[in-house]
C-alpha cells in the first residue's frame, strides 16, 4: 500500500489539527494542547522557521510531527536549534510509522546545531517509548520544567524596595531588547531576540519593567497566544474532579478557577521573565507587582520555570495547577551531544 512522508501542505491544516487533539494524560488531568482553528497556520505563526511533516497512508494522514528552527543562546553563543514538537499518531491507525527509516530523518539539516523536545513527565507511556534506545537516535535529559497556572489574586508578600514598576511603551523598545539579550545570553536555550515583530501578537506594551533610576532590574511580557495555541482540559480525575465541583470555595482560597471539561482557557503567559544578574529579590518583587496588572483582565495566568529557576521555590508554595515536563536533547546518529549549563536554563513556555 502506498505511503509517504513529506512536508505538509497548507490545505492539510485542519486534518493535522484532528491528530493533535488526542488527549494527553498529565496525572490528575487529561489535557489537550490545540492549535485551532488550523494547525498549519498556527505553526507558521511560531517564532522561527516552522517545518510540518505528515505521514500519509493511502488517502489519510496517520502521523504528524513538526520542528521549529530558531536561534538560541548556549554558553553565551548563538546556536541554531530545532525544537521538535507535535509528534502524534492517529489513534485509529493500527499500523506503524517508519520512524527509523524516514520520519525522524526528515528533521536533519546541516545548519542545525542541536535538536530538543519536551515530554510531559506524568505521561509515563510516552516517556518510556521516547527514551527507548534506537540505533539512529538517542535522547539525553537536559532539565525538568514546570508550568504553573496561578490565580492573580493569590497573596504574596512584597520585599521592601524603592523600585519603580511600570508598563513599557515604544520608547523602551531598544532598552528592553538590549536587556533581554544581555541577560538571556547568560541562560541556555533562551531565544535570540532581534525584534518583537518576530513574535506573533507580541507588542512592546505587553512588557512590564521593574527599574531603579532608569536601569531595568527585571522585565517580562504578558503574552496571550490563545488565538493560535490553546490548552483545554478534557477530563478531571481523582481530587481534581472534586476540586472542579468546589470551585467557589477554592476560589476564595486563591486556587485557580477550573473551567468545565472541554472549555478552552484564555490566559496570558508570563514570558521572557528575566532579572539583572539573576537577582532573586528582583524576581520576587516583579512577580508580586505583575499580579496586580493581570487580575484587571484575567482570572488565571501561566508561568513556566525550570527546576533551578531562582523564583521556582517561591511559586511552588502558592496555590496552583502545575504540570511538569522533561526537556530532552535529541541526537541523531553521528551527532555529538551539546554541553548545557543545567543550572542556568531558560526555556519559554509560550515557545514550546
Q: Which fold has domain 3-145+228-236+325-351?
A: Aminopeptidase (3.40.630)
Residue 240 host element (H or E): helix 239-245
Q: What is the CATH number of domain 150-227+258-322?
A: 3.40.630.30
The verdict on whether omega for the bond into residue 37 sits within 30 degrees of 0, i.e. cis, is yes
Whole-prediction pTM value?
A: 0.90
Range with the lowest mean pLDDT among 132-141, 157-166, 269-278? 132-141
Give the mean pLDDT of the chain: 87
Pairing of strands 137-150, 301-306: antiparallel
pLDDT of residue 314: 94
Q: Fold identical between 3-145+228-236+325-351 and 150-227+258-322? A: yes
Share of the chain above pLDDT 70, in %: 84
Indicate whether 29 pLDDT > 80.
no
Residues 264 and 231 sit within 8 Å (Cβ to Cβ): yes
Instruction: Write down the pLDDT at residue 1.
Output: 38
Give 246-251 contacts, CB < 8 A, sequence gap 24+.
Answer: 250/319, 251/151
Average pLDDT over residues 61-90: 93
Each domain of the chain, given as residue ranges in start order, spans 3-145+228-236+325-351, 150-227+258-322
Q: Is residue 210 within 8 Å of 219, Cβ to Cβ?
A: yes
Q: Report which of 279, 302, 325, 291 is spatially closest to residue 83, judged by C-alpha positions.
A: 325
Rounded Cα distance between 17 and 48, Å, is 20
Task: Assess whether pLDDT exceeds 90 at residue 227.
Answer: yes
- CB neighbour class for 25 (10 Å; exposed up to 12, middle 13-18, buried from 19): middle
pLDDT tens column, 229-265: 987 777 777 666 656 666 665 665 576 777 777 777 7
Amino acid at each position: 500500500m502506498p505511503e509517504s512522508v513529506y512536508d505538509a501542505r497548507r490545505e492539510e491544516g485542519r486534518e493535522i489539527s484532528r491528530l493533535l487533539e488526542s488527549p494527553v494524560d498529565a496525572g490528575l488531568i487529561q489535557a489537550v494542547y490545540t492549535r485551532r482553528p488550523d494547525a498549519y497556520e498556527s505553526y507558521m505563526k511560531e517564532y522561527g522557521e516552522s517545518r510540518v511533516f505528515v505521514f500519509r497512508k493511502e488517502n489519510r494522514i496517520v502521523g504528524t510531527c513538526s520542528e521549529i528552527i530558531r536561534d538560541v543562546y548556549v554558553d553565551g553563543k548563538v546556536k541554531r536549534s530545532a525544537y521538535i514538537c507535535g509528534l502524534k499518531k492517529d489513534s485509529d491507525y493500527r499500523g506503524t510509522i517508519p520512524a527509523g527509516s524516514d520520519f525522524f530523518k526528515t528533521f536533519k539539516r546541516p545548519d542545525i546545531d542541536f535538536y530538543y523536545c519536551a515530554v510531559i513527565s506524568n505521561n509515563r507511556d510516552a516517556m518510556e517509548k521516547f527514551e527507548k534506545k534506537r540505533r539512529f537516535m538517542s535522547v539525553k535529559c537536559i532539565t525538568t520544567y514546570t508550568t504553573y497556572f496561578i490565580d492573580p489574586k493569590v497573596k504574596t508578600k512584597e520585599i521592601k524596595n524603592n523600585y519603580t514598576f511600570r508598563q513599557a511603551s515604544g520608547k523602551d523598545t531598544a532598552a528592553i531588547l538590549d536587556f533581554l539579550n544581555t541577560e538571556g545570553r547568560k541562560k541556555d536555550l533562551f531565544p535570540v531576540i532581534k525584534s518583537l515583530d518576530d513574535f506573533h501578537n507580541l507588542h512592546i506594551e505587553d512588557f512590564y519593567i521593574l527599574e531603579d533610576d532608569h536601569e531595568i532590574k527585571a522585565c517580562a511580557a504578558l503574552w496571550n497566544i490563545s488565538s493560535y495555541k490553546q490548552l483545554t482540559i478534557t477530563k478531571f480525575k481523582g481530587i481534581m474532579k472534586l476540586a472542579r465541583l468546589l470551585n467557589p470555595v477554592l476560589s476564595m482560597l486563591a486556587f485557580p478557577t477550573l473551567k468545565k471539561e472541554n472549555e478552552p482557557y484564555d490566559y496570558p503567559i508570563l514570558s521572557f521573565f528575566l532579572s539583572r544578574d539573576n537577582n532573586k529579590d528582583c524576581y520576587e518583587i516583579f512577580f508580586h507587582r505583575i499580579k496586580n496588572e493581570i487580575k484587571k483582565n484575567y482570572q488565571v495566568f501561566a508561568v513556566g520555570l525550570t527546576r533551578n529557576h531562582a523564583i521556582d521555590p517561591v511559586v511552588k508554595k502558592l496555590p496552583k495547577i502545575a504540570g511538569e515536563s522533561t526537556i530532552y536533547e535529541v541526537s541523531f546518529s553521528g551527532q555529538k551531544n551539546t554541553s548545557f549549563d543545567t543550572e542556568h536554563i531558560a526555556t519559554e513556555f509560550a515557545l514550546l
